[in-house]
Amino acid sequence: MRRFEELSEKKLGWKSLPIGGYLLEPGSAMKYKTGDWRAFRPVIDQERCVNCLLCWIYCPDSAIIRLEKFVDVNYDYCKGCGICANECPVKCIKMVEERR
């Protein structure tokens, strides 16, 4: 899991950013990692996951990754809304506070 702090640290500072907030590369929205907006991080107990995919359906940010026997979270984009944890029928998703 990529750490939340790393994500923020990787963002460019004023010296290396293009001036005026310009985006010089078209179609680059995927490169904008929004995971550091999170206040809480969903942590999935994959042993207990029944792979029902309700979280995958409900996630408003398409941040649930489908694997063969269970799901995972894409922490680059997950904003920590907690809908997945709320919908999980076996309650195997825990929301853990991010620390700054």
Partner 1 sequence: MVKVIGLTGDEAVAYAVKQCNVDVVAAYPITPQTIMVEAFSEYVHNGEVNTEFVCVESEHSAMSACVGASLTGARVFTATASQGLALMHEILYIASGLRCPIVMGVANRALSAPINIHNDHSDMMGSRDCGWIQIYAENSQEAYDWVIQAFKIAEDPRVLLPASVNLDGFILSHSMEGVEVLEDEEVSKFLPPRKPVITIDPTKPVTVGALCLPDYYFEVKFQQIQALKEAYKVIREVNKEYEVLTGRKYGLLETYAMEDAEAAIVCLGSTAGTAKAVAKELRKNGKKVGVIKPWIYRPFPEEDLIKAVGDVKALAVLDRACSFGAPFNALCNDVIGTLYRHGKNLNVFNCLYGLGGRDMTPNDLKSIFNEALEVAKTGKVKEYVKVVGVRE
List residues binding partner 1 (CB under 8 A): 8, 11-14, 17-24, 26, 36-37
Residue 36 or 78 with smaller CB distance to partner 1: 36
Q: How far is the CB of 58 from partner 1 (least distance, A)?
A: 24
Q: Measuring CA to CA, which residue among 39, 38, 40 is closest to residue 77?
A: 38
Structure tokens given for 27: 């179609």
Residue partners of 22: CB distance under 8 A and separation at least 6: none
Q: How far is the CB of 9 from partner 1 (least distance, A)?
A: 11
H-helix or E-strand containing 93? strand 93-97
Residue 22 or 69 with smaller CB distance to partner 1: 22
Residue 36 or 41 with smaller CB distance to partner 1: 36
